[in-house]
């Protein structure tokens, strides 16, 4: 029977892809420094095997022999995804897949060292290699006249085109800039100050993760340079980072990654592609929803403030209201992951612009730092003091993730759409958040998003979940209402 053979093959391929994810997690969280060279070879070898399985010539033969008359929607989607993956893989030479995986592993190691030493010139050659490999891969995938960047974007946001995505994301800019300018003259809230031991931060992070639904029997938490989430099903690992002067960094990095993890833990099947996440934009909607609409909301402060007192003792803030103001302070900072909700998407627009130019060849890797600094000054009015606060702050380009950044802003847009619909469906939502009893909220997401897997394209999935076509307006409305009230606008 062709269908069982195809599904078994897809499961085997997915299992090896999960192994690749585990060794990538290990490289960041556990691996000794001297293992970097071996890990690059291991990563490349595994990528070669996965590529060979994805491009196995039996795949189209199995697909051609399947009788589709009585198949479920998930089976039909598995067939479509198998064909899509096969088509992409057969256009990419095995040599290129292996070399790209090795370059990503090596690039991540070099990036971490360059970031620590605040020296972009150390990283520029590795970046140049990654860009060249991505251009080559995109050229293999592109139809005549197709934008090379769109071929890379398609890996993370299937079916999306930058020509359509750019107007949607740019539609955020006028409202965000206007809101930022209205807030600029207002007095900044009192900040949270003091010393916050790392072990106490991690204890609080675990407590918060558990309260909002993360299953530690199916995961773990570790510290890394750049937080991320890895895995699915029964093994979903999250990472965070600590700064003893700033516990909010650890707290909100954790909540963000828990949002990803809840989606991964809620997948209806850990191996088959139809049950996987819909797109990275939808994935980011989950992390941004839990981080912002829940974690930075005023109701959540009623639970979080005493939890922080228990973890750290007395705080320098005046109760939940003071904490709410502190965690939503608007300021023009350098770091994307620490950016407030008003500035965050401006960070993404900058990266989206630069990576499109890198892939198009109108910007070369060695010129990226200068381009970054000049455009950051244009958009934020600030001079970048060193590359660790600028071009070296994100891990993505070091591991070849070109086309990923716009999914963060898509995630913010989708999160606001979902939150608007959830408030309609769950009138007691704020009371749940106030008590950190968020089970019904997670259940709503499980039903509307997680259980749907990849059955629908992302815009259609959001439209069915919310009853409206996705747009930027709910996000702009949410930001205007929230920060208008906070800053008395």
Active site residues per annotation: 257
Asked if residue 286 lies in contact with residue 326, where contact means CB atoms within 8 angstroms, the answer is: no
Q: What are φ and ψ of residue 76, in 5° steps?
A: -60, -40
Q: How far apart are the first and last CA of the chain?
A: 65
Backbone CA torsion sign across 402, 287, 176, 336: negative
Give the relative orientation of helices 341-360 and 120-141 as an angle to the nearest 10 degrees: 70
- Cα(218)–Cα(236) distance, integer angstroms: 6
Asked if residue 256 lies in contact with residue 288, where contact means CB atoms within 8 angstroms, the answer is: yes
Q: CA separation (Å) from 443 to 208, 239, 418?
A: 18, 24, 13
Asked if residue 270 lies in contact with residue 10, where contact means CB atoms within 8 angstroms, the answer is: no
Q: Look up tokens 């039909």; give the residue.
A: 76
- Cα(259)–Cα(7) distance, integer angstroms: 29
User: Among 397, 401, 369, which Cα is nearest to 385's?
Assistant: 369
């Amino acid at each position: 029977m062709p269908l069982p053979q195809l599904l078994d093959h897809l499961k085997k391929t997915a299992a090896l892809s999960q192994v690749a994810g585990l060794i990538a997690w290990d490289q960041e969280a556990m691996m000794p420094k001297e293992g970097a060279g071996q890990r690059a070879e291991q990563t490349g070898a595994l990528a070669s095997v996965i590529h060979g399985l994805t491009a196995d010539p039996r795949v189209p033969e199995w697909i051609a022999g399947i009788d589709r008359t009585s198949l479920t929607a998930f089976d039909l989607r598995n067939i479509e995804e198998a064909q899509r993956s096969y088509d992409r893989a057969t256009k990419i030479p095995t040599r290129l897949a292996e070399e790209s995986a090795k370059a990503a592993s090596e690039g991540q190691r070099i990036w971490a060292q360059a970031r620590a030493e605040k020296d972009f010139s150390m990283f520029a050659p590795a970046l140049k290699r990654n860009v060249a490999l991505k251009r080559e891969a995109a050229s293999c995938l592109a139809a005549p006249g197709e934008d090379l960047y769109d071929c890379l974007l398609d890996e993370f946001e299937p079916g999306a085109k930058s020509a359509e995505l750019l107007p949607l994301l740019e539609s955020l800019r006028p409202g965000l800039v206007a809101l930022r300018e209205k807030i600029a003259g207002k007095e900044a809230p009192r900040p949270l100050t003091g010393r916050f031991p790392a072990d106490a931060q991690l204890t609080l992070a675990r407590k918060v993760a558990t309260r909002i639904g993360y299953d530690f029997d199916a995961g773990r938490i570790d510290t890394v340079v750049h937080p991320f989430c890895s895995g699915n099903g029964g093994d979903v690992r999250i990472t965070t980072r600590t700064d003893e002067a700033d516990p909010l960094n650890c707290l909100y990095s954790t909540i963000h990654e828990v949002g990803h993890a809840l989606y991964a833990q809620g997948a209806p099947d850990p191996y088959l592609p139809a049950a996987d996440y819909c797109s990275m934009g939808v994935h980011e909607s989950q992390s941004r929803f839990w981080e912002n609409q829940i974690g930075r909301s005023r109701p959540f402060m009623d639970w979080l403030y005493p939890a922080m007192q228990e973890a750290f003792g007395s705080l320098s803030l005046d109760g939940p209201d003071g904490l709410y103001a502190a965690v939503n302070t608007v300021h023009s900072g350098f770091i994307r992951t620490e950016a407030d909700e008003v500035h965050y998407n401006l960070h993404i627009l900058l990266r989206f612009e630069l990576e499109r130019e890198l892939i198009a060849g109108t910007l070369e890797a060695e010129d990226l730092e200068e381009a970054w600094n000049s455009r950051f000054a244009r958009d934020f009015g600030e001079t970048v003091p060193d590359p660790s606060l600028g071009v070296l702050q994100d891990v993505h380009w070091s591991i070849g993730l070109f086309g990923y950044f716009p999914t963060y802003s898509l995630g913010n847009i989708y999160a606001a759409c979902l939150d608007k619909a959830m408030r309609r469906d769950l009138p007691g939502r704020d009371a749940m958040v106030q008590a950190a009893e968020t089970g019904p909220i997670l259940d709503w997401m499980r039903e509307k998003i997680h259980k749907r897997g990849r059955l629908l394209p992302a815009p259609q999935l959001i439209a069915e979940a919310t009853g409206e076509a996705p747009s930027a307006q709910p996000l702009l409305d949410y930001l205007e209402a929230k920060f208008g009230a906070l800053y008395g606008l």
